[in-house]
Amino acid sequence: MTLELLFAALLVGVYFLLHATVFKLPTCKSAGKLHGKTAIVTGANTGIGKTTAMDLAKRGARVILACRDRQRAEAAVQEIIQETGNSEVIFMQLDLASLKSVRSFADNFLRSESRLDLLINNAGLLNDGKTEEGFGLIFGVNHLGHFLLTVLLLERLKASGPSRVVTVSSVTYKMGKVDFNCLTTHRDVALGNTMFHLNLKYSHSKLCNILFTHELAKRLQGTDVTCYSVHPGAIRTEIGRYWGFWWGLLVKPIMFLFFVDAELGAQTTLHCALEQGIEHLSGHYFSKCAPHMNIESKARDDAVAKKLWELSESFCGLS
């Protein structure tokens, strides 16, 4: 065997070793059933959200796919029904880039559904632009829309307890910060629209997700509702489907080689939604189906979390 072939074989071996160790993700071990329970999953027409909705439907839950794109969502509904045999899977229109749409969704849900046991704040994007109300699109969808949705549904969650809120964040929070001056002045977490700036905005929004969960847990003390934020892992999803050609050419091969599929990416979400005995960990950040106890201090800053909550209330017209 030539030296080149030996080197190639070594690279392949290292690649599969990494996938079996470093990149390997655990699976949710819960065998829990959800008959008689109702779950909302945002962004459930694709990727991690769709996989999450599929698993909850298999367990017998009534699952609401809260999505913007009607055609894609209705196709996902039919696929989930066919795969699970559970006909209690429905689509409800939700555009997180519109606070008006969030309010309309909440009104429709509260009128038509008697209970809410699981709220999975899964949807996320990495696109440039503004929301209907003029907020930065990444901040508006990834944090603010989910913030308002959760607040509007809290009383139903409390009435249905024990219930849970799971918000999908990301390890990229480590690169994030909350710039309140930028938020109040520009209604965005940062300025700039290059791919570098968009990735920074995404990281900032994921830090907001964790701080939101941290503060939500404090406000839920004494209730039968718990909440968790999660890092799903390095997952191949459609979050980058609107990337430019050159950026996609650079990143997509890396995703193909080193990222895992959506089924594995949904496991920590499912763990936090289903695992019994983690109620005392409400407000914590989970990764690989376990609480991440060494989270950076900026993600558990009480003062910043409280200020972000209050500013989000103001932005949503709740205060």
The pLDDT of residue 244 is 57
- 211-225, 247-261, 266-280: range with lowest mean pLDDT: 247-261
pTM for this prediction: 0.87
pLDDT above 90 covers a percentage of the chain that reads 81
pLDDT for res 29: 93
Judged by DSSP in three states, 168 sits in: strand
Task: Give the residue numbers marked as catalytic.
Answer: 202
pLDDT for the residue 263: 85
Q: Looking at residue 293, what is its pLDDT?
A: 87
Beta-strand relationship, 285-287 and 225-231? parallel
162: preceding bond cis by omega (within 30 degrees): yes
For 108-126, write each residue's pLDDT tens digit.
999 999 999 999 999 999 9
Phi, psi of 27 (to 5 degrees): -110, 155
Q: Which DSSP state fits 175? A: G
Is the pLDDT at 238 greater than 90? The verdict is: no
Q: Is the pLDDT of residue 185 over 90?
A: yes
pLDDT, mean over the chain: 89
Please give the pLDDT value at position 237. 55
In the structure encoding, which two tokens stand for residue 77, read together?
């509904």
State mean pLDDT over 266-275: 97
pLDDT above 60 for 245: no
Please tell me what DSSP assigns to residue 278: -
pLDDT for res 19: 43
In the predicted model, what is the mean pLDDT of residues 247-263?
Answer: 53
Ordered by where they begin, the domains of the chain are 29-315 (3.40.50.720)
pLDDT of the residue at 261: 65
CB contact at 8 A, 127 and 138: yes
Q: Express each pLDDT in 23-74 by its tens digit.
A: 568 999 999 999 999 999 999 999 999 999 999 999 999 999 999 999 999 9
Instruction: With beta carbons less than 8 A apart as the criterion, state whether 55 and 270 touch.
Output: yes
Range name among 172-181, 211-220, 242-251 with the lowest pLDDT average? 242-251
- Contact of 93 with 70, CB cutoff 8 Å: yes
Residue 275 has pLDDT above 80, yes or no: yes
Residue keyed to tokens 């200020």: 307
Q: What is the amino acid identity at position 270?
A: L
Query: Long-range CB contacts (< 8 A, 24+ apart) of 254-263?
Result: 257/15, 258/18, 258/23, 258/234, 259/234, 259/235, 260/23, 260/25, 260/233, 260/234, 260/235, 260/236, 261/235, 261/236, 262/47, 262/48, 262/50, 262/51, 262/235, 262/236, 262/237, 263/51
The predicted pLDDT at position 247 comes to: 47
Kindly state the tokens that stand for 311: 């500013």
SS3 of 120, please? strand
pLDDT of residue 18: 44
